[in-house]
Amino acid sequence: MSKNVNNMDMRLRKFMDSFNEVASKYLQNYLNWFLVLEKKRTLLIK
């Protein structure tokens, strides 16, 4: 279980690093975007 959490954390950090700065005001939007991409990634893998 912790391996999955660590992997998702790594992917989230990599995703967030692609932006120069992230305003906390829009943090939920970035997280939603990340989750949509994760869902798409998991659907493509299956």
pLDDT at 44: 86
11 Cβ contact partners less than 8 Å away, ≥ 6 residues apart: 34, 38
Q: What is residue 2's predicted lDDT score, i.e. its pLDDT?
A: 82
Domain ranges of the chain: 2-45
User: Over the stretch 1-46, which tens digit does the pLDDT of each residue have?
Assistant: 788 899 999 999 999 999 998 899 999 999 999 999 999 988 888 7
User: How confident is the model at residue 6, as a pLDDT?
Assistant: 94
**What is the pTM for the complete model shown?**
0.81
Q: Tell me, what's the pLDDT at 38? A: 93
User: What span, in angstroms and rounded, lies between the C-alpha atoms of 30 and 14?
Assistant: 12
